[in-house]
Amino acid sequence: MTAQANIHLIHTQDWQEALQDGFADVNALLEFVDLPKTDLPAPTFSQKIPRIFAQKITKGDWHDPILRQFLPTEHEDVPQTGYVLDPLAERAHSPVPGLLHKYKGRVLITPTGACAVHCRYCFRRHYDYSSHTKQSHMAAILDYIRADSSIFEVILSGGDPLSLSNARLSKWLDALEDIDHISTIRMHTRTPVVLPMRLDASLQARLNACTKSLVMVLHTNHPNEVDDTLKIHLEPLKAHLLNQSVLLKGINDDADTLVALSYKLFKMGVMPYYLHMLDKVQGSAHFQSDVDLDALYQALLERLPGYLVPKIVQELPFVANKTPFFYLAD
Ligand SMILES: *Cc1c(COP(=O)(O)O)cnc(C)c1O
Ligand code: SF4
């Protein structure tokens, strides 16, 4: 049986339904995973996780590596020294609302602020999406890209570009495909990891018809996040598939977890790309790993074939590329 046929067999829900069927309340999630309720106030950055993804959490385990990424804690609305609202000073690099032009030849656009999940460590959690993602900005964004022939790659980010409907996403792809100097379209997305059925047949057909090189960078932090359902949905895609992770204390800041993640993704045709050091956004201090990066990287080099070793990098506010950890000043 083809992978395509499988897709229709394994899901009774379409992705929009699955997106709505989730936990937007801390105690509802805790009850689902058999943990006692809390009296935490509702967090500023709301909780959000679809049921199909929450099913991967081990019941009764506060330390579950998926639960910890999505469960708000009492720490996060407390100001912490060195943790700020806009750690990357992104506003300084935004010539048009909804577009960042910081790196040579590459622009990053944020066509939506919505995500299928709310990761507690998210560096865009305080981002003013309302002023950046309006549909009305599309024309100005496209004009900017058309006017600068040094731009060869457009990165659709967000939020999560796969929160857009297929129709809206296609409008972006159509317009970008019409620009001759664009050779590559890239998407950074976590949605297929949390809702594999988002890669539905119609989206796959559109992506496979793309006339530019297409790169999809998934965002997976822990091997428990992915299984064969994702594999089946990735199989028909012709895009180059990469993964980026964020280094998170007690979740994936050890060689065993990262080695397992690289192998698991490789079996799905996904190559590791970046392992990001945490951006110091307000509310994320409890995710800051204190692991010895030299030792961690050395262990990855020893245990993985070179092509499965992610680049450990940090995004710095005024540097126009990711900075490898071994270039960072202490
Ligand atoms: C990370 C990033 C890019 C892409 O960088 P690559 O090294 O090509 O993956 C582009 N623009 C901005 C603003 C970024 O943060
Ligand atoms: S999916 Fe990405 S952009 Fe969305 S909340 Fe998670 S880390 Fe942030």
Phi and psi of 138, rounded to 5°?
A: -55, -45
The predicted pLDDT at position 84 comes to 80
3-state class (DSSP) for residue 293: helix
Q: What is the SS3 assignment for 73?
A: coil
In terms of residues, how long is the chain? Answer: 330
Please say whether the beta carbons of 281 and 85 come within 8 A: yes
- Residue 61: name the closest of 245, 287, 251, 227 by CA: 251
Say how far apart CA 197 and CA 206 lie, in whole Å: 15
Among protein residues, the one with the nearest Cα to ligand 1's atom 1 is 322
160 CA distance to ligand 2 centroid (A)? 7
Per-residue confidence (pLDDT) for residue 260, from 0 to 100 = 98
Q: What is the pLDDT of residue 263?
A: 98
State the Cα–Cα distance between residues 279 and 87, nearest whole angstrom: 7
Q: What is the pLDDT of residue 146?
A: 98
Cβ within 8 Å of residue 247, ≥6 positions away = 253, 275, 276, 277, 278, 289, 291, 312
Residue 104 has pLDDT above 90, yes or no: yes
User: CB of 275 within 8 A of CB of 245?
Assistant: yes
- Looking at per-residue confidence, does 28 or 9 come out higher? 28
- pLDDT at residue 9 greater than cutoff 50: no
Q: What is the pTM of this model?
A: 0.94
Average pLDDT over residues 95-119: 95
Query: Which residues have C-beta atoms less than 6 Å from ligand 2?
Result: 115, 117-119, 122, 124, 158-160, 190, 219
Burial tier of 11 (Cβ tally within 10 Å: 0-12, 13-18, 19+): middle
If pLDDT is split at 50, 70 and 90, which confidence band does 136 have? confident
Average pLDDT for residues 38-47, to the nearest whole number?
86
- Residue with token string 């099913």: 55
Ligand nearest to the CA of 191: 2
Mean pLDDT of 280-296: 92
Whether 306 shows a pLDDT value over 90: the answer reads yes
**pLDDT by residue (tens digit) across 189-220?**
999 999 999 999 999 999 999 999 999 999 99
